[in-house]
Amino acid sequence: MNKPGFSLLIVSLFAAFTLKAQPDPWKITAAKIDPSNYYGVTVANGMIGIVSSPEPFKVKNVVLAGAYDQYGRGRVSNFLNSFNLLNMYLEIDGKRLTAADVSNLKQELDLHHASFKTTFDYGDKATISYTYYSLRQLPFTVLTDVTIIAKKDIALNAASVMEAPDALKEVQNYYNEIDRPHVTISLLTSTAKSPTGKLQLCASTSFIFKEVHGQEPRVIHEMWDNNMHLMKFTKKLKQGQTYDYAVTGSSITSAHHNDPLNEAERLTIFAKLEGRDRLLAFHNQAWDELWKSDIQIEGDPQSQQDIHSMLYHLYSFTRAGSSFSLSPMGLSGLGYNGHVFWDTDIWMFPALLVLHPEIAKSLIDYRFERLDAAKRNAFAHGYKGAMFPWESADTGVEETPVWALSGPFEHHITACVALAAWNYYAVTQDKEWLKEKGWPILSQTADFWSSRVERNGPGHYEIKNVVAADEWAENVDNNAFTNAAAKVNLQNATAAAKLLGIKADPDWLLVAQNIPILKMENGVTLEHAAYKGEGIKQADANLLAYPLKVITDPKQIKNDLEYYEGRVPNEGTPAMTQAVFALLYARLGNPEKAWHFFKDSFEPNLLPPFRVIAETKGGTNPYFATGAGGILQSVLMGFGGLDITPSGIVQVESKLPAQWKSLKITGVGKDKKSYQRN
């Protein structure tokens, strides 16, 4: 006989199991780790990126924003790995712990407070965990927090290892101690030159002990070779005892400071004397502030986790006040040489702009500070105004390897930069910024397009010989996206002049009105003059509906979507194409198709064990921040209906997928508004 109480118990157990099985909205956990199929996840603070490793007490690499030198691939400036300042080792009872010795290995990324925790058992002797942070409040400083629980009496020998990447040269290692009545500070420091000697890179670390001064372990320094040295201590633990210690360190280069060697040590001393608890309190507080701007999905825990992960990565790879921009791979490694493309201005910038305008300002300030280089680039190509490079690094000169035709010919980047500048003003309504920085960008880029077009009569101010946004189309004429983006650039420059009370060049509107947007016989927007239905690498003509808004007729948008969505191969193309399809279908009121392309934009690109996004389906180069930016726009501007207009952010009609009960977007724009869609 089935009693009511028993039935209730079964229902409760089932509910508990179901709840437990749901993805955590804030934590991504890897309980089964296969080192041969492992794609690391990044903990970053907009300046330092730390990439995880499956091997205990190791990190894969450390990347610093803004640190470039010319070496290796392409004879152009490349991102540099910095000193690996968080590698460690641990010996228990005289035996060095290795991956083969551990069991129950688990790693967890906390998206809310940007920490990466590893836990494992070491036989019957100890349970060990360590967590590292790229401290949000201190741009050049990191922290690793270690906890050891002794299962029996053990003797520890713990080391902090400083290792120089192979590309660095003239490595010098230092160790010194600063003694004060209340503290002893042990500093493990290294400095080196970048491959050409252009930069000096420096890093320093120190232990943080919980013991009162005079009772902390004695630290010993060991020099192994020129590229690696370490400091270590010993400690005996009783069965059941828990022991905590931490390592804090700073990494900085001459690109960031005139005296990086001393500054690395000063910053490390500062962190050491702040102490672990204060460091983590301020770090968590900074992330709590960032997450006041959030995307909240009800009814779909996996999408919620994925969207939080994408937001986390964009927040991690950027910071306000830095004047640094975003590479397609952010701070997750050396992908794309750390260069800045249209990926920033069109794909990643808009999501940051609506949620954190103060962060977006750094990205557009990066462009403004390189405006003079863009002017020189235009001059070299026989044009007026400013011509931004397809690939940009530290100086703002063209950094595209010469074998890629996008360097000399992918000119739409100039209009992409201008669109970002105009949109920054539109969201913030900051006329002082528009006058000081926005206007120089908008006016100089407009001058470029006035000189770039070939004037072949009314309606035929043509833009010939470009690489299209669809990069498989090289050296073509009248590319849809290039032409439309140029028109928008010229119109926005004219609008900015009116706002500022400046007389606009009347030629700008004349040119804008005469740039052609070509069509096929069936009325579909023609990607370029020679296009005959070939496969396309990525969205091009469809971008005229969003973000350019040159095409606004729903029927035209639908026809263009239905034509070009069938021209994108299923492999080898970047993730953001399907994202813009999802955005447009959501705005057209077709949530089924929007949902299909939303899922298709990233799920086939996910890699184990942390669901990091590769650039393409089946690709292996995470983390693709460009794709994350596009997918976030499909939620914010597609399903959520947010729209950037000259007078600010508004919400337009759109439809949620059936899989979502509601969508709430918090902390939007300068007034930090919330928007809901049910």
Domains of the chain, by residue range, sit at 28-264, 295-677
**Residue 27 corresponds to which tokens in the numbers above?**
């934590």
**pTM to 2 decimal places:** 0.95
- Work out the burial of residue 560: count CB atoms within 10 Å of its CB; fewer than 13 is exposed, 13-18 middle, 19 or more buried: buried
* pLDDT at residue 15 in the model: 43
Q: Which fold has domain 28-264?
A: Beta-galactosidase; Chain A, domain 5 (2.70.98)
Query: 295-677 is classed in which CATH architecture?
Result: Alpha/alpha barrel (1.50)
Q: How far is CA 78 from the centre of its chain?
A: 17
Q: What letter does residue 297 receive in the DSSP assignment?
A: E
Kindly list the distances between the CA atom of residue 422 and the CA atoms of 418, 440, 647, 673, in Å, as whole numbers in the listed order. Answer: 6, 11, 11, 21
Q: Name the token pair of 149.
A: 């629980």
Torsion, Cα of 502, 504, 505, 509 (10° steps):
180
Cα separation, 322 vs 314, whole angstroms: 15
Tell me the C-alpha distance between 489 and 469, whole Å: 16
Cα angle 178-182-184, degrees, rounded to a multiple of 5: 30
Q: Is 546 left (phi over 0), alpha (psi -120 to 50) or beta?
A: beta
Q: How far is CA 467 from the centre of its chain?
A: 26
pLDDT for the residue 330: 97
For the chain, list residues with pLDDT below 70: 1-20
* SS3 call for 46: coil
**What pLDDT does 224 receive?**
83
Q: What does the pLDDT read at residue 72?
A: 73
pLDDT recorded at residue 452: 98
Q: Looking at residue 318, what is its pLDDT?
A: 98
pLDDT at 13: 40
What sign for the dihedral angle of Cα 397, 402, 408, 412? Answer: negative
The answer to whether the beta carbons of residues 509 and 491 sit under 8 Å apart is: yes
pLDDT of residue 571: 86
Angstrom distance (rounded) from CA 416 to CA 422? 10
- Check residue 226 and give its pLDDT: 80
Integer Cα distance of 78 and 340 in angstroms? 11
The confidence score (pLDDT) of residue 20 equals 55
CA distance 347 to 631: 9
Q: How far apart are CA 516 and CA 555, in angstroms?
A: 20
Integer Cα distance of 248 and 175 in angstroms? 15
Q: DSSP code of 35?
A: G
Distances, alpha carbon 20 to alpha carbons 16, 163, 389, in Å: 6, 41, 50
Contacting residues for 214 by C-beta, under 8 A, at least 6 apart:
none
Which residues does 281 contact at the CB level (< 8 Å), separation at least 6? none
- Residues carrying an active site annotation: 471, 615
Q: How far apart are CA 133 and CA 136, in angstroms?
A: 8
Domains 28-264 and 295-677 share a fold: no
Per DSSP, the residues of 462-486 read E--SB--SSTTS-SBSS-HHHHHHH
* Terminal-residue alpha carbon distance, the chain: 44
Residue linked to tokens 């994408």: 310
